């Protein structure tokens, strides 16, 4: 049994004076220091705090960049180059922000896959999961708008393609929305200006949702690798110093990885075409979104021309669904299924460690996402079309067919009684557990 | 149970603790250094950028300025007056007694040695920042034949010193060097 | 299992990253040695100087370099006096005079490189309708980077018999579509190098590509220097934190 060591500074008279009036210190102590956390968390649990830190890095570098950036089509590209060439350490701040965006998605995708593998989305953490999906959506909107700001060829054409998608909404509503988004008849200066405003705003909304996300987390505490609820003091340890130091180690490893890109391969995740100033009269040979959008881009393009169109026209007559709309719906649907995952998966077992069949399907799903990402970068020709369609179909089959069926037909492995049980081989008695711990020491 | 645990730690742990504390101290120190190294670029990026600093000094060709004429140039975002003084203007400036001056200063300290005919001043009134008149053709030079600030009526003499009006100090003399007889570098 | 997963992710990354070495149907650019590549790379100073000469005497007739200022040349070894002279070679419009007219003044170090044409239309008119791109970022703006530009500049040869080259176009297998409006810009001994280096086409290309690699990434040397220090620092700090972590967790394990 590990007891929390209350730090001396909490007894300081100034701290107590403030705390009596606004309990910030005791609040922080409770949520960050004493906070009981399962003792068996592995390194896949580091990615939540990493995501929070990357968010802070993005906001700080973003605000400093905004001191030098000009959101006007005539000056945007040049203002970014001025940052790179003339502003003190401008190149460093820009590259940190640019690569930080990619890092943010790497960290968050791993964080999400951790949740999928260990069943962190299951009761009572459904709202925690949903808030996470909301954060993902906000991140995608923020990243999309951010990429437009340098006003390179990809910025402009990516914005054109994606905003044009909304015209797929039928009955004239789509066109109205697109004109509203553009502020004109095409992506142009009004669009750039408002994207800058919203790109600055959204991260603070993300901060708000992150607060809710952590609040929801702290109600029931973290899940853990075996997915068994904590049953008593023998199953938990205080967050400080154990997970504070472990998170700092994870941060060190992550920052090293991040620094390798910033200093030695700063354009690895980018597209050369974006170093060409935007030209509305010249479309690049291949319009490619940033890598973290590629799976969704593949899904968007996967829907064949006569998919829903032919069928519905025949049966419904007056409603025309274009393949474009079906593609858009599929793309948003790919995120929508995440929202309802806690209700698709009815298996009472959380962790894949005890779900041998689900584990296989998890890895197949991961490979499917990587395949979708690969296809998204390729031109929509030849063999890539068929692979993209199969991978897209499988994506939805995984969530809508496989997962519900597994809940019915899978035989899970025998679950351990508690977190401490595998280690101490006994019951849940705290006293017994403590003596065993001493023996090991 | 807890007592045994505690004393056990105290006995064994004394040397352990010192080593552990040093390690934690060293790690903490490293982390602080790292944090400072990260903070500095975020602060320094607000300092003037390279293109701003490139305009920190300008070179002006004064060969075209006739005796009695003056020009205005832009330097660091502000106007600078360059006046080619007549001998009469120079002697008028030298003759003034210190007691008559609001902000006493010798004329010879406001020009370069051997180049007393060149008066170079920052053209910003020391009262509240307007640009005094008197440089271009036809502009009034005020009662002391130097400059006159129309905003609140400050009069400057042929050395750019404040003589009458609310301004507290003489017009500022910027840092400048003569690269040769026809080119002066300001800043 | 985790190792397999990590390897798969890395593999897909690698596939995507390496899968586009050439645009369209162009031949992929062969790899070329550059002194500035790698973790500890620095620009070849001699090449930068020679490369600037090639740009100034050959390329600047059609290609602008508008993101570079003359004063930036001081960072690659040109003296203040040389920079002033280079800048003053060109004329720039001044501020409007008292009559509202714009006069010409000689260039200053703070000016950016003057474009050969006043606008894109003028550039096209002088080049058969083709627009010579600005070269400030060209090395970062093309797949294959410096290798590609090197291959392009040295890759002009007679078209194979089955390819018709229209009037005003030239055959170059490294260019997307293989037909490029720019004629071979470099000639043997087209430039006279002050340091006596023989100005072969390959040499001129290497020099101007090194120069353009610098114009695209003037921060490269500082970035790599800082990178080495940062990575070493982080490895050290992470190592220390790891040891502390193990000590802290010893009680729990």
Binning pLDDT at 50, 70 and 90, where does residue B98 land? confident
Per-residue pLDDT, B18: 62
Partnered with residue B83 across adjacent β-strands are B70, B119
**pLDDT higher at A273 or A439:** A273
Per-residue pLDDT, C29: 94
Per-residue pLDDT, A423: 55
> Where is average pLDDT lowest: A239-253, B89-103, C226-240?
B89-103
Contact present, A152 and A279 (Cβ < 8 Å): no
**Chain C interface includes B26 (CB < 8 A):** yes
Per the rule left: phi > 0, alpha: psi between -120 and 50, beta: everything else, A364 is: alpha
d(CA A205, CA A59): 12
For C244, which of B27, B37, B50 is closest by C-beta distance? B27
Q: Known catalytic residue: A78? A: no
Helical spans, DSSP H, in chain C:
2-18, 45-57, 80-88, 120-126, 145-154, 201-216, 220-249
Per-residue pLDDT, C23: 60
Q: Residue A253: is its pLDDT beyond 50?
A: yes
Task: State how far residue C154 is from chain A, nearest Cα, in angstroms.
Answer: 22
Per-residue pLDDT, A137: 97
- Chains touching chain A through at least 3 C-beta pairs below 8 angstroms are B, C
Chain C residues lying within 8 Å of B27, measured CB to CB: 237, 240-241, 244
Contact present, A162 and A182 (Cβ < 8 Å): no
Per-residue pLDDT, C25: 80
CA atoms in the 13 A half-sphere facing the CB of C184: 17
DSSP C115: P
Contact present, C16 and C8 (Cβ < 8 Å): no
Return the structure tokens found at A362.
């998890």
ipTM of the assembly? 0.91
Q: What average pLDDT is seen over chain B?
A: 88
Per the rule left: phi > 0, alpha: psi between -120 and 50, beta: everything else, C189 is: left
Task: State how far residue A243 is from chain C, nearest Cα, in angstroms.
Answer: 9
Q: A361-383: buried (b, 16+ CB within 10 Å) or exposed (e) per residue?
A: bbeebbebbbbbbbbbbbeeeee
Encode pLDDT of C129-159 as tens digits.
Answer: 999 999 999 999 999 999 999 999 999 999 9
Partnered with residue C104 across adjacent β-strands are C93
Q: Residue A104: is its pLDDT beyond 60?
A: yes
Q: Which residue of A has its CA nearest to C68?
A: A85
| 8 Å CB contact of A263 and C230 | yes
Encode pLDDT of C70-81 as tens digits.
Answer: 999 999 999 999
Encode pLDDT of C238-248 as tens digits.
Answer: 999 999 999 99
Binning pLDDT at 50, 70 and 90, where does residue B70 land? very high
Q: Residue A439: is its pLDDT beyond 50?
A: no
Q: Percent of chain A having pLDDT more than 70?
A: 90
Q: Percent of chain B having pLDDT more than 90?
A: 74
| Active-site hit among B84, B127, B152, B155 | B152
| 8 Å CB contact of C223 and A92 | yes
Task: State how far residue A252 is from chain C, nearest Cα, in angstroms.
Answer: 5
Per-residue pLDDT, A76: 98
Q: Residue A433: is its pLDDT beyond 80?
A: no
Q: Residue A112: is its pLDDT beyond 90?
A: yes
Cα-trace Rg, chain A = 25
**Chain C interface includes B29 (CB < 8 A):** no
Binning pLDDT at 50, 70 and 90, where does residue B9 land? very low
d(CA A120, CA A113): 10
Q: What average pLDDT is seen over chain C?
A: 91
Per-residue pLDDT, A428: 44
Per-residue pLDDT, C20: 42
What is the average pLDDT across C178-186?
Answer: 94
Q: Which residue of A has its CA nearest to C23?
A: A285
Contact present, A361 and A398 (Cβ < 8 Å): yes
Encode pLDDT of A36-52 as tens digits.
Answer: 999 999 999 999 999 99
d(CA B35, CA A287): 39
Cis peptide before A41 (omega within 30 of 0): no
d(CA A178, CA A145): 15
What torsion do the CA atoms of C57, C61, C67, C73 make, to the nearest 10 degrees? 10
**Burial degree of C121 (CB within 10 A; 0-12, 13-18, 19+):** exposed
Binning pLDDT at 50, 70 and 90, where does residue B131 land? very high
Binning pLDDT at 50, 70 and 90, where does residue A5 land? confident
d(CA A12, CA A3): 21
Per-residue pLDDT, C195: 93
Per-residue pLDDT, A419: 87
Number of H helices, E strands in chain A: 18, 2
> Where is average pLDDT lowest: A153-157, C25-29, C150-154, C231-235?
C25-29
Q: Known catalytic residue: B84? A: no
Chain C residues lying within 8 Å of B37, measured CB to CB: 233
Q: How far is CA B133 from the centre of its chain?
A: 22
Q: Residue A78: is its pLDDT beyond 50?
A: yes
Per-residue pLDDT, C94: 86
Q: Is A270 helix (H, G, I), strand (E, B) or coil?
A: coil
Per-residue pLDDT, A10: 78
Q: C91-93 and B145-149 as β-strands: parallel, antiparallel, unpaired?
A: unpaired
Encode pLDDT of A306-353 as tens digits.
Answer: 555 445 444 443 345 566 788 889 999 999 999 999 999 999 999 999
Q: Which residue of C has its CA nearest to A424?
A: C253
Q: Which of A206, A247, A227, A201 is nearest to A62 (CA)?
A: A201
Chain B residues lying within 8 Å of C241, measured CB to CB: 27, 31
Q: Known catalytic residue: A218? A: yes
Chain A residues lying within 8 Å of B49, measured CB to CB: 68, 82, 86-88, 90
Q: Any idea which residue has 């299992």 for tokens?
A: C1
Task: For residue C158, give every residue at least 6 positions away whose Cβ sits within 8 Å of its Cβ, in sequence order, or none.
Answer: C171
Contact present, C174 and C27 (Cβ < 8 Å): yes
Per-residue pLDDT, A7: 74
Q: Residue C21: is its pLDDT beyond 80?
A: no
Encode pLDDT of B13-65 as tens digits.
Answer: 455 556 668 889 999 999 999 999 999 999 999 999 999 999 899 999 999 89
Pick among A53, A86, A90, A93 to test the B interface (most B CBs inside 10 A)? A86
Q: What average pLDDT is seen over chain A?
A: 90
């Amino acid at each position: 049994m590990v007891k929390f060591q209350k730090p001396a500074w909490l007894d300081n008279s100034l701290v107590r004076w403030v705390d009596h009036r606004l309990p910030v210190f005791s609040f922080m102590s409770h949520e960050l220091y004493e906070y009981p956390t399962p003792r068996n968390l592995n390194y896949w649990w580091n990615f939540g705090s990493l995501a929070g830190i990357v968010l802070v890095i993005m906001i700080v570098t973003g605000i400093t960049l905004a001191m030098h950036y000009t959101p006007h089509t005539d000056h945007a590209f040049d203002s970014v180059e001025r940052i790179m060439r003339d502003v003190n350490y401008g190149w460093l701040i820009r590259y940190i922000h640019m690569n930080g965006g990619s890092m943010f998605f790497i960290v968050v995708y791993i964080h999400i896959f951790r949740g999928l593998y260990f069943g962190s989305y299951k009761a009572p953490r459904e709202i925690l999961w949903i808030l996470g999906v909301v954060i993902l959506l906000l991140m995608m909107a923020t990243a999309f708008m951010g990429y437009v700001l340098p006003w390179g060829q990809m910025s402009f054409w990516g914005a054109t393609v994606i905003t044009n998608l909304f015209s797929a909404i039928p009955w004239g509503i789509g066109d109205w929305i697109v004109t509203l988004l553009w502020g004109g008849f095409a992506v142009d200066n009004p669009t750039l200006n408002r994207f800058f405003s919203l790109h600055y705003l959204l991260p603070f909304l993300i901060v708000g949702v992150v607060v809710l996300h952590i609040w929801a987390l702290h109600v029931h505490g973290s899940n853990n690798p075996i997915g068994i609820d904590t049953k008593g003091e023998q199953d938990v340890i205080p967050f400080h110093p154990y997970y504070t130091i472990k998170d700092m180690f994870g941060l060190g490893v992550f920052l090293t990885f991040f620094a390798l890109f910033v200093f030695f391969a700063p354009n690895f995740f980018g597209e050369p075409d974006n170093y060409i100033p935007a030209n509305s009269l010249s479309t690049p040979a291949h319009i490619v979104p940033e890598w973290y959008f590629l799976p969704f881009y593949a899904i968007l393009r996967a829907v064949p021309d006569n998919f829903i169109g032919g069928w519905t026209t025949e049966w419904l007559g007056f409603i025309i669904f274009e393949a474009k709309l079906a593609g858009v719906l599929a793309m948003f649907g790919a995120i929508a299924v995440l929202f309802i995952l806690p209700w698709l998966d009815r298996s009472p077992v959380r962790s894949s460690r005890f779900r041998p069949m689900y584990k296989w399907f998890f890895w197949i799903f991961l490979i499917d996402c990587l395949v979708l990402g690969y296809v998204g970068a390729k031109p929509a020709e030849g063999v890539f079309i068929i692979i993209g369609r199969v991978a897209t179909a499988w994506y939805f089959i995984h969530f809508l067919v496989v997962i519900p069926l597994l809940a019915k037909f899978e035989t899970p492995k025998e679950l351990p009684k508690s977190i401490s049980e595998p280690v101490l081989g006994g019951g849940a008695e705290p006293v017994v557990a403590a003596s065993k711990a001493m023996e090991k020491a | 149970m807890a007592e045994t645990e505690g004393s056990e730690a105290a006995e064994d742990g004394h040397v352990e603790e010192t080593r552990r504390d040093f390690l934690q101290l060293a790690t903490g120190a490293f982390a602080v250094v790292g944090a400072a190294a990260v903070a500095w670029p975020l602060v320094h990026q607000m300092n003037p950028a390279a293109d701003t600093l490139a305009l920190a000094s300008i070179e002006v060709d004064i060969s075209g300025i006739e005796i009695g004429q003056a020009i205005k140039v832009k330097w660091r975002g502000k106007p600078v007056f360059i006046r080619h003084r007549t001998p009469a203007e120079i002697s008028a400036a030298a003759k003034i007694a210190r007691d008559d001056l609001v902000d006493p200063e010798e004329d010879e300290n406001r020009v370069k040695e051997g180049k007393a005919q060149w008066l170079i001043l920052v053209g910003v009134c020391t009262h509240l920042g307007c640009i005094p008149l008197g440089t271009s053709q036809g502009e009034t030079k005020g009662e002391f034949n130097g400059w006159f600030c129309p905003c609140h009526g400050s009069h400057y003499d042929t050395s750019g010193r404040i003589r009458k009006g609310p301004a507290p100090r003489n017009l500022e003399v910027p840092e400048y060097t003569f690269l040769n007889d026809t080119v002066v570098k300001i800043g | 299992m985790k190792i397999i997963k990590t390897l798969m992710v890395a593999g897909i990354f690698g596939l995507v990253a390496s899968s586009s070495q050439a645009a369209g149907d162009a031949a992929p650019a062969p790899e070329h040695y550059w002194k500035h590549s790698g973790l500890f790379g620095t620009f070849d100073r001699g090449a930068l100087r020679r490369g600037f000469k090639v740009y100034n005497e050959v390329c600047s007739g059609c290609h602008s370099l508008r993101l570079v200022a003359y004063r930036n040349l001081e960072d690659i070894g040109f003296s203040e006096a040389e920079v002033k002279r280079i800048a003053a070679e060109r004329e720039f419009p001044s501020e409007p005079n008292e009559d509202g007219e714009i006069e010409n003044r000689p260039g200053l170090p703070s000016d950016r490189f003057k474009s050969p044409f006043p606008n894109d239309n003028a550039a096209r008119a002088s080049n058969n309708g083709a627009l010579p791109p600005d070269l400030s970022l060209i090395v970062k703006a093309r797949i294959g980077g410096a290798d590609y530009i090197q291959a392009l500049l040295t890759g002009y040869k007679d078209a194979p018999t089955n390819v018709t080259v229209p009037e005003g176009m030239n055959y170059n297998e490294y260019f997307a579509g293989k037909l490029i409006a720019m004629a071979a810009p470099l000639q043997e001994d087209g430039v006279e190098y002050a340091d006596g280096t023989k100005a072969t086409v390959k040499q001129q290309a290497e020099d101007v590509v090194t120069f353009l690699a610098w114009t695209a990434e003037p921060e490269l040397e500082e970035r790599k220097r800082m990178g080495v220090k940062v990575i070493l620092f982080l490895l050290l700090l992470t190592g220390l934190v790891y040891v502390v972590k193990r000590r802290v967790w010893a009680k729990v394990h």
